[in-house]
Every structure is written in structure tokens, then in C-alpha cells.
Amino acid sequence: MPLSPPAPREPIHNRTITCQGYRRQDGLWDIEGHLLDTKSYTFKNPWRGGVAPGDAVHEMWARLTLDENFEVVAVECTSDASPFPTCGAIVGNFQRLVGERVGPGWSRRVKSLVGGVEGCAHHVELLCLLATVAFQNMGPLLSKRNPGVVADTHPKFVVNSCHIWREDGEMVRNYFPEDWAPEEV
């Protein structure tokens, strides 16, 4: 169902985030994100001069390469457009994620390792989103080939992640009965 009709308005800012997942020929998995910010008006920027409507204010990319256990074996972040010349200087810090496992607590670990002054808010946003993309990308294929791989990680990732997957709910009872915790009356 779409949103209700809006009040009269004019567009000002657009953020587009695209995430994609890939299975590599070497058995690893690439999960990529792209963030693009544009404005509907021209504005001055001390580093870039003027930024025209539709030009990228921010254009950031992130790639996580994961093994079948959802462990990060490589990470790459780039900044193609940013409002300041040193925005991309921090991308090396994202190597701290190598060896981490995508799963419960992923966003908290990303923010702990590369959040705030240790990273870039836009890359952190992308990297946090890539966790659910990884499970959507890898989960169905891995569970067909080896049910135990995803069974050990997937339920713990989704249980209590939203109201439909609450631990006392019907979906957990039906799909992951070992994790079902009915509400006590």
C-alpha cells in the first residue's frame, strides 16, 4: 500500500541506496552497497566550487567479502564524491572489520570499530545495511546445500529483529521451534 497523498511540496534532497549480493566463483560472497546523495538546487562548496542540481554530494561504495560462515574476509570502501577533500582519508580504518562475523550485533560492532571519528557516517550506514542483504543473498542458497550452516546463524539473526519474528510469535514457533519462547500468562 503506498503512502497517503502528500501535501504540496518541492523536492530538496534525494538519497538513493542500492545493495546487491553476489556469489563468487571462488566460493566467497560479495555484498555491495552504493549511497548517492543529490540536491535539487545549486550550492557553493569551498572544495568543489559549485555543486549543481543532480550532482553527487555524496557517492560512497562499500563491499564486504564473506565466507560461508558470514565472516568478513575482505572489505573495501570508496568515496567517489564528498563535500570535503579528506572524506576518503578514513577508508583504511574499515579494514578493522576483517575477521568480524555478520550476524547478531553486527551494527553495534561496526559502530564500535569504525563509527564516529574512526569512520565515515555514510559508509557505516551502508555497512550496517549490508548485514540483512548478506542473509537475503546467502541464506537461501546455503540452506539448500547445507542446512546446518544457516540453521546455526539465521534464526539467531532474525529472532526479535522485528515484531513478526518475535520469540513468542507464530513465525518463530513454526520455523524455528527451538528458539520459540512463548509468552507466559
- Judge whether residue 1 has pLDDT over 90: no
C-alpha–C-alpha distance, residues 73 and 151, integer Å: 21
Kindly report which listed range (108-112, 117-121, 179-183) carries the lowest average pLDDT score.
179-183
Q: How far apart are CA 102 and CA 134, in angstroms?
A: 8
Distance of CA 174 to the CA centre of its chain: 28
CB 108 within 8 A of CB 100: no
For residue 178, pLDDT beyond 80: yes
pLDDT digits (tens, 9 = 90+) for 71-116: 999 999 999 999 998 988 999 999 999 999 998 899 999 999 999 9
Could you read off the pLDDT of 11-59 as tens digits, one per residue? 999 999 999 999 999 999 999 999 999 999 999 999 999 999 999 999 9
pTM of structure: 0.84
Cα 23–chain centre separation: 17
Ranges assigned E (strand) in the chain: 13-23, 29-39, 43-45, 49-51, 56-66, 72-81
Q: How many other C-beta atoms lie within 10 A of the C-beta of residue 44?
A: 8
| 86 or 139, greater pLDDT | 86
Closest CA to 29 of 38, 41, 37, 19: 19
